[in-house]
Structure 1
Amino acid sequence: MHTQPRLPQKVFNWFCVAFLVYLMLVAVGTVSSGFKLFSGGSEGAKEIFAFATNPFVALLMGALATALVQSSSTVTSVIVGLVAGGLPLNIAIPMIMGANIGTTITNTIVSFGHVREKAEFRRAFSASTVHDFFNLLAVIIFLPLELAFGFLEKIATSLSQLFISDANLSLKSMNFMKAMISPSVDFFKSVLGFLDGKSLGIALVILGIGLILVSVTGLGKILKQVMVGKAKGILHSAIGKGPVAGITSGAMVTVMVQSSSTTTSLMIPLAGSGMFSTKQIYPFTLGANIGTTITALLAATAISGPTAAVALTIALVHVLFNVLAVAIIYGIPMLRDLPLKAADRLAIIGAENKLMALSYVLGVFFVFPSLIVFAMR
């Protein structure tokens, strides 16, 4: 008996992927439009986020938001929309860094699936928290440099100008993108037409964030169905084959499944079973950090007009932060081993005392950021 080819299902899946990408672009445009209405422009936005002018608070806001929704792609897409709506870059950049910290919670939670067996849990917890410590070290290095010199913003601004300097290639002139997205944004405005002014702005921001969450989550699930087999194949063939192969394949897999959380979580059972060590998995994790930046770049294409450049700038900041972090931290042997040593040490403690491991997750990702953010408001 011959099995019927499943081409219609594949076609339907890819149609869903295209629709969800479009929905995400519309959602980013909706957030941007709503924030403009609510804030009344960049000056209003500065007043709204005055409590977050402390970059440490902005950093923790990004980490907390990402931990709550368990998707850095969602949070960075929202940040792109807010920046296009007037959110200042000096607030958005620490938020982007915070999103990098918050995204590591998913694979740490996955490691608790091995909690019943001490040796397995130690290996799994070590493999998951090496991601935490790497991103934390990246922030410790780059946030002070950014505050002192603004080098990420300057480099990203220069790069964005390369893309928009030619009038024919200008993101500001991407009228086809505006033509695609504007009707849907206008439709949402008309549906919420019973509201006006700031109320309409708030409603659009909330709707846009909800749509981003739905579209990114749905996109990840469908791409997992379509691509996860191939992604696992790349993962198995690349882990343990050297740092360059690991970083490259980690980035590739994350672009394929549109979720660094998925990519890093795929590795945890392999580490827990003892198939691969934390040191072998480490480069793959760093590649996932780079691969996840594609979503913010995609979100930036949803923005047209005068704010296109600043939207592209914050997306490029995300790329630069992750690429430079890998180049510097992994490129310098003394720094390279710090996340590994910290993860191994924490895993030994966590395996002996499960409550300590749980307290680490709740404290670092939820309790501490929440207390600081609300205390500084």
Structure 2
Amino acid sequence: MSTLDVVSLLGAIATFLFGMSTMTDGLEKLSSGRLEGIMEKLTNNIFMSVLVGALVTGLIHSSAATTIMCVGFVNSGIMKLEQTVGIIMGANIGTTITAQILRLGDISSDNIILSLMKPEYFGPLLALAGIVLYMFLKGGKKKIVGQFLLGLGLLFIGMSTMKVAVAPLQDVPAFRELFVAFSNPLLGILVGALVTALLQSSTASVGILQALTSTGIVTFNIAFPIIMGQNIGTCITTLISSVGASKNARRTAMLHLYFNVLGTLVFLCGIYGAQAVASAAAGGLPFWGATMNMGDIATLHTFFNIGCTVLLLPFHKVLVRLVERTVPGDDDHEFAVLDERFLATPAVGLDRAHDAVVHMGSLARDNYRAAVELLSGYDPKKLELLQENESALDKLEGLLDGYLVKLSDHALSGEESARVSELLHTLSDFERIGDYSVNVSESATVLYERGISFSPSAQKEMAAITGAVGEALDKSLACYTTRSQAIALQVEPIEEVVDLMRDELKSRHIERLKSGACTVELGSQFLELLINLERISDHCSNVAIHILQQTAPKDALVRTDSHAYMKALHRGDDKEFEELYNEYREKYYSPIERFEP
């Protein structure tokens, strides 16, 4: 095998993987969240869960992506652990679709239509259609369809190039000997798992194995353990995504691992047991040493995953109990899912809705803390968890909006109607806090990717204002959770200090820009952060005002005219407010006055 063949192989693998990633991204954009919605709604029946898992994974061509969605849903409390079992089983079936598509490479016919379906013809045609839609036509949907077609075309191009690049390997004795060694089941499983873990895609590793069939040395006894290992290796991505998540989310990742490991053990015992019996009776199974083509690999991959599902589906509850024992303890991130049966009892329904809004507040606070930490120490895993939480916040907002609208259709007392209004306003505030936290994380990402950082004085200033906003957020969540008037009264003084700090820090940074001590790029990011932090504190103030309106006496100014109440506070009419304002001013603003900008 020449150097050119090696370079061609590496390039083909890169093209194949990039094509798969591009195609998957396009499909996810086309779904516009509808796939996740389907998963949420159709998973109470185990058989329907399997079907949904297979369909969703078949569309996005990634069992890991489907399982990671499940981890995110369980982590946010939208789905229960039991609901994910069927989806994970179905995901393993759906991930075989790509291999079935790639088997088109085995087509051999003089018919021009059939010939065009071969990867070496079909791939460039798809890529051409995709690039035309992606680059030259206007319109969001057309661009996304173009991205999908381009990715699929690159997938086929990569596959056909791989087949050509690996063809010389059939004449290399060392490669033949190496491949024969993979017939050892333990070594074959290990290699399959390691390659898949490295690529983070069983679909990609199966595609590479399909390409290797062109060498003519891939036999059943070699391919079988490798495919078993590939199904285990695909669990690595899910396990990584569960790091730092709730206990039930980690259990979801373990569920994926156990399903594939148990399925592998059952099939290994069955196939190798049958081979041992057949060897003693008639020289072994007839297909044991048969050479496999791309279609055979696809069929074996599909048969294994369907077989695992059929075998283990009756024991899905046992799998749940197994992972609960593996990851013991009560979940520290549980969330009572909204149940429409509570609508008949508005008081209970309102309590459940309140719990859900508190959960939203917790997610928003976690995202704020993660975003601030990214400013001082960038961590991609932390950013990934932040994005999962943001997705959960958006979904919870939609769920709660619909739930509260339905609750409003029932006969409610005046107090209950006021609580519905308060819940709707507060959930919107927490969702917006989550959005602004994402904006903060995006600024942190820009700073990291461009290799730039704030000056020491700017870092001190940023630490001071993020600390103030963090305390405002903690107190707003605490006052809402406990409905405490005393804590709610402490939020607005902090918000006023944040406004003061924003104006001062903005002026200081503009001076740094004028003097050349700061670049325009850094200056724009600093000012963008100030805007987002001040808006977070504004929403914290809104939450506190909602609580004051609900807990204050009926004739209190905050209930009759909240705008007049705020003006009175800022005029200095409230001594308690002034004392708290001076306390927080000394805590957060005074330290930045003591050092030169």
Normalising by structure 1, what TM-score?
0.45
Normalising by structure 2, what TM-score?
0.29
Highest RCO, 1 vs 2 (Cα 8 Å, sep ≥ 6): 1
